[in-house]
Structure 1
Amino acid sequence: MTEDTREDEARRDERILAQARADFARAREAGREDRQAAAEDLRFARLGEQWPEAIRRARELEGRPCLTLNRLPAFIRQVVNEARQNRPAITCHPVDSAADPATAEVLNGLIRNIEQSSDADVAYDTALDFAVTCGFGVFRINARAPETGGEDLDLVIERVADPFTVYGDPDSLAADSSDWDVAFVTRRMDRRAFAARWPGAEAVDFEDEDLAGAGGRIEGGSQVRLVEFWRREAVERSLITLTDGQEMEAEVFEARRPFLEAAGLAPAGPPRTAPGVRVVQRILSGAAVLETVDWPGKFIPLVPVYGEEIRVDGRRRLRGLVRDARDAQRMFNYWRTTSTELVALAPKAPFIGRKGAFDTDQAKWTTANSQTHAFIEYDGPEPPHRQPFAGVPAGALQEALNAADDLKSIMGLHDASLGARSNETSGKAILARQREGDVSTFHYIDNLSRAIRHAGRILIDLIPQVYSVPRVVRIVGLDGESEMKPVNQEIITQERDEQTDELREIAKIYDLTSGRYDLTVAAGPSFASLRQESASQMIELIRAYPDAAPVVGDLLVKNLDWPGAEEIAERMRKAMGLNEDGEPQGGGADPQTQQAQQALQQMSAALQEMQQRYRALEQDKSLEARKLEIDAFEAETKRLSAQTRETRLPAGVYTG
Structure 2
Amino acid sequence: MTHDDILRDARDAFERASAHEAEIREEARDDLRFARLGEQWPEKVRRDRELDGRPCLTINRLPAFIRQVVNDARLNKPAIACHPVDDGADPQTAEIFNGLIRHIEQSSDAEVAYDTALDFAVTCGFGYFRINTRYARDDSFEQDIVIERVADPFSVYGDPDSTAADSSDWNTAFVVDSLPRAAFEARWKGAEAVDWSGSGHEGAAGAWGDGERVTVAEFWRREAVRRKIVALSDGQVIELSAYEAQKGLFDALGVSIVGAPREVASHRVVQHVVTGAEVLETVEWAGRFIPIVPVFGEELRIDGRRRLRSLVRDAKDPQRMFNYWRTTTTELVALAPKAPFIGRKGAFETDAEKWATANVQTHAYLEYDGPEPPMRQPFAGVPAGALQEALNASDDMKAIMGLHDASLGARSNETSGRAIMARQREGDVSTFHYIDNLSRAIRHAGRILIDLIPKVYAAPRVVRVLGPSGEAKLAAVNQPVAVREADAAGQVREVQRIYDLGVGKYDLTVRAGPSFTSRREEAATQMIQLIQAYPAAAPVIGDLLARNLDWPGADEIAQRLSSLLPAQVRGEAPELGEARAAIEKLSQALAGANQKLEAMAKDQALETRKLEIAAFEAETQRMRVLGPGGPAR
Q: Structure 2 length as normaliser, TM-score?
A: 0.85
Shift of 1:536: 0.9
1:96 counterpart residue number: 86
2:103 counterpart residue number: 113
Number of aligned pairs?
A: 587
- What is the DSSP-based 3-state SS (H/G/I as helix, E as strand, rest coil) of the residue aligned with 1:172? coil
TM-superposition CA deviations, 1:487-509 (whole Å, max 9, x none) = 111111233557475x4221111
CA–CA distance in structure 1, aligned partners of residues 438 and 532 of structure 2? 39
Shift of 1:577: 6.2
Which 5+ residue runs of structure 2 have no aligned equivalent? Answer: 590-633
1:204 aligns with 2:183: no
RMSD: 3.2
Shift of 1:66: 1.2
- What is the DSSP-based 3-state SS (H/G/I as helix, E as strand, rest coil) of the residue aligned with 1:87? strand
CA–CA distance in structure 1, aligned partners of residues 52 and 370 of structure 2? 34
1:261 counterpart residue number: 251
Letter in 1 for 2:269: V
1:55 counterpart residue number: 45
Pick the aligned partner of 2:10 from 20, 23, 27: 20
1:392 counterpart residue number: 382
Shift of 1:438: 1.0
- What is the DSSP-based 3-state SS (H/G/I as helix, E as strand, rest coil) of the residue aligned with 1:93? strand
CA–CA distance in structure 1, aligned partners of residues 194 and 261 of structure 2? 45
2:572 counterpart residue number: 583
Shift of 1:149: 4.4
1:176 counterpart residue number: 166
- What is the DSSP-based 3-state SS (H/G/I as helix, E as strand, rest coil) of the residue aligned with 2:443? helix
1:345 counterpart residue number: 335
2:556 counterpart residue number: 567
Pick the aligned partner of 2:28 from 38, 42, 52: 38
Contact 2:197–2:203 (Cα < 8 Å) also in 1? no
2:216 counterpart residue number: 226
1:538 aligns with 2:527: yes
Select between 142-151 and 391-400 the one with higher mean Cα deviation.
142-151
Pick the aligned partner of 2:493 from 504, 515, 540: 504
CA–CA distance in structure 2, aligned partners of residues 357 and 224 of structure 1? 79
Select between 537-546 and 297-306 the one with higher mean Cα deviation.
537-546
Contact 1:184–1:228 (Cα < 8 Å) also in 2? yes
TM-superposition CA deviations, 1:98-144 (whole Å, max 9, x none) = 11111111111111111111111111111111111111110111111
Shift of 1:587: 4.0
Contact 1:575–1:597 (Cα < 8 Å) also in 2? no
Shift of 1:272: 3.8
Shift of 1:383: 11
1:429 counterpart residue number: 419
Shift of 1:292: 0.4
Pick the aligned partner of 1:419 from 397, 409, 414: 409
CA–CA distance in structure 1, aligned partners of residues 409 and 182 of structure 2? 52
2:450 counterpart residue number: 460
Q: Structure 1 length as normaliser, TM-score?
A: 0.83
Which 5+ residue runs of structure 1 have no aligned equivalent? Answer: 1-8, 599-656
CA shift in 2, pair 1:449/1:594, >3 Å: farther
Select between 569-578 and 374-383 the one with higher mean Cα deviation.
374-383
2:614 counterpart residue number: none
Shift of 1:350: 7.6
Shift of 1:269: 3.8
Shift of 1:275: 2.9
Task: Give identity over the alignment, percent.
Answer: 66
CA shift in 2, pair 1:24/1:597, >3 Å: farther
2:240 counterpart residue number: 250
Pick the aligned partner of 2:518 from 525, 529, 547: 529
Contact 2:127–2:295 (Cα < 8 Å) also in 1? yes
Contact 1:88–1:449 (Cα < 8 Å) also in 2? yes
CA–CA distance in structure 1, aligned partners of residues 433 and 455 of structure 2? 34
Letter in 2 for 1:122: V
CA–CA distance in structure 2, aligned partners of residues 266 and 26 of structure 1? 48
- What is the DSSP-based 3-state SS (H/G/I as helix, E as strand, rest coil) of the residue aligned with 1:51? coil
Shift of 1:323: 0.2
TM-superposition CA deviations, 1:6-35 (whole Å, max 9, x none) = xxx8xx112111111111111111111111
- What is the DSSP-based 3-state SS (H/G/I as helix, E as strand, rest coil) of the residue aligned with 2:258? coil
Shift of 1:313: 1.0
Superposed, 1:61-460 pairs within 5 Å as 61-147=51-137, 149-212=139-202, 216=206, 221-346=211-336, 348=338, 388-460=378-450
Letter in 2 for 1:478: P
